[in-house]
Amino acid sequence: MQQQSDVVIVGSGMNSLSCAALLSERGLNVTVLERNAVAGGCIRTETLFPGFTHDVFSSWYPLFVGGPAYAELAKPLEEAGVRFVSSSYSTGLATPDGVGIALRQDMDDTIQRLNQITPGDGDAVGAAAANMFGPDAPLVFGLMGGEPYSWETSKLVFKSWRERGVDGMMQFASQSLENFRRWAERELQGDATRAMIAPWVLHSGLGPDEASSSLIGKLTFSAVVAGGMPVVEGGSYNIVKAFIKIIEKRGGRVLTGKHVDQILVENGKATGVRVGSEQYLAKKAVVCNVTPNQLYEQLLPNAEQRYKDQAKAYRYGRGGMQIHFALKEKPTWINEELIHVPMVHVTESMEQVCASVVEANNGWLPSKPTLAVGQPVAVDPTRAPDGSWILWVQMQDMPSSIKADAANEIPVPADGKWNEAVREAMVERVKQRLESVMPGWTQHIIGHRAFSPADLEQWNINLVGGDPYSGVCSPDQFFFMRPFAGESKARTGKTPVPNLHHIGASVHPGPGLGGQSGYLAAQRIAKK
């Protein structure tokens, strides 16, 4: 059986749906194929407990709301029923030794609050933000989010060179490669300020000691403070349903239960895909939201060996873990203001964030993992019954394969694999850790649901080893080097096969719920 459309997209995550919706709005007929029974990739909303709406996996949309895909799709999404809601607060810090800091969605207020804690730290943070969103903004955002090898980017780099000179460009490159610890020790005087910003580095798959983590940490923290942490009212899956409405309105389809076996290539060009005995043909383009290994080792069986070798060399990072708690009433934080904050990080210090990353990299279960504690009800009260609460807890410093427990408390499976016993033991560790910043909160637990790195990979094959970022984000395979730098035809979403486009977290500009690689693919296929 053969079916034909203008564009066929493999996978239905954020980049796929953004790309499909953009192309649909531009007049093309699109077919999206998803191997799972539910579309959406890492966007999934479930009623884990009666009356509670939990965003399982991804939840927060600052990257999407601030990106070009949303700028074009804002009206169609609104017409399809999507409403983004935000809080007047942005982020916060809670430490087991009693520090509790809440920050508003206001850079001036953030500067003032940080200066009150450690004089001068707020000014240093404000200066870094002003520089990134001021003089450095065109170059930073142009390189991070644009088409790197385009004429537009070449003009941007040339213009920057004319303005800065060689020395200025070298200084920019040096600062971009600096790690967070080095910058923080030089520019920040207070442990609390360092601990406040350091966990944001983890949200791009890096650690504070890794190259480029200074740029990523400062940029992410500043963007969150300036733009907040919006969510989709009523649950993230509402945006998936809205995307599907946009696609179907233009005659397209989103089909689930369709595992793609092969990309069809005829006369050297991609012409469609094969799903079992079915063929889905594409007049203009095939777009794949997959890992490099899937693309070059499975879907393109006749790919040249050098591309297969590059795919084999592509590395994946630490595992992620999530725990979702339903509470019968609000917890009491060590700082009562923290109840209003969408995302609170729990850690002792910047040094502890670094230590937990090292433990995970070594295959150890961290004794004191960094906790990203999301409070979706603080932003969207529709998520839970009146007076009750939800905690969305994420850890980005888990080992994919377990060799030891840093605290020497949890028995390690002989095969090194995650199982239910290890997962639930980590849940208990997290519960105890949260007791130090929310005394008595465990008395209010209705229930919980946890997802280990193994669970994440089982749900989404792009999360290899439970890596939520689909590949290490070190400079050798990040941004314009992603997925790998050795082949010009396989960088930044391009492939060696004409009409075949590569998108997703494994492709420039990397992970994040922004839809940017999908947007760039849409621009290549049918530029607006």
Whole-number mean pLDDT of the chain? Answer: 93
Give the whole-angstrom CA distance, residue 334 versus residue 322. 23
Range 255-270 burial, b when 16+ CB lie within 10 A, else e:
eeebebeebbbeeeeb
First CA to last CA across the chain, in angstroms? 33
| pLDDT value, residue 163 | 74
Instruction: Give Dmax over CA atoms of the chain in angstroms.
Output: 70
Tell me how far apart the alpha carbons of residues 223 and 202 are, in angstroms, rounded to a whole number: 15
Q: Angle between the 107-117 and 191-201 helix axes, to the nearest 10 degrees?
A: 130
Cα 101–Cα 85–Cα 337 angle in degrees, nearest 5 = 20
Q: Where do we find the tokens 């884990």? A: 48
**Is the model's pLDDT at 463 over the cut of 70?**
yes
DSSP for 100-113 reads EEEEES-HHHHHHH
Label the pairing between strands 269-275 and 262-266.
antiparallel
Model pLDDT, residue 130: 85
CB within 8 Å of 166: residues ≥ 6 apart: none
Query: Cα–Cα distance between 394 and 371 in angstroms, integer?
Result: 6
Residue 481 has pLDDT above 90, yes or no: no
Instruction: Encode pLDDT of 282-324 as tens digits.
Output: 999 999 999 999 999 999 999 999 999 999 999 999 999 999 9
pLDDT digits (tens, 9 = 90+) for 228-283: 999 999 999 999 999 999 999 999 999 999 999 999 999 999 999 999 999 999 99
What pLDDT shows up at residue 171? 78
What tens digit of pLDDT does each residue of 134-191 get?
676 676 666 666 676 666 767 766 677 677 788 776 777 777 789 999 999 999 999 9
Side-chain-facing half-sphere of 265: CA atoms under 13 Å: 15
Please give the Cα distance from 429 to 425 (Å, whole number).
Answer: 6
Region 465-488 average pLDDT: 87
The C-alpha atoms of residue 224 and residue 429 are separated, in whole angstroms, by 28
Q: pTM for the full model?
A: 0.93
Q: Which two tokens stand for residue 149?
A: 């090898």
Q: How far apart are CA 82 and CA 247, in angstroms?
A: 15
Mean pLDDT value across residues 66-73:
94
Q: Note the pLDDT of residue 323.
A: 98
CA distance 147 to 141: 11
Mean pLDDT of 106-130: 94
Question: What pLDDT is attached to residue 92?
Answer: 97
- CA–CA separation, 463 and 455 (whole Å): 10
Query: Which overall architecture, per CATH, does domain 2-43+236-315+469-525 show?
Result: 3-Layer(bba) Sandwich (3.50)
pLDDT confidence bin for 484, thresholds 50/70/90: confident
Taking the CB of residue 97, how many other CB atoms lie within 10 A of it?
A: 9
Sorted by sequence, the CB contacts under 8 Å of residue 319 that are 6+ apart come out as 360, 398, 399, 400, 418, 452, 453, 456, 465, 466, 467, 468
What mean pLDDT is predicted for residues 35-57? 96
Percent of the chain with pLDDT over 70: 95
Dump the DSSP string for 495-518.
-SSTTEEEESTTSTT-SSTT-HHH
CB 484 within 8 A of CB 471: no
70-109, pLDDT tens digit by residue?
999 999 999 999 999 999 999 999 999 999 999 999 999 9
Distance CA 357, CA 448 (A): 25
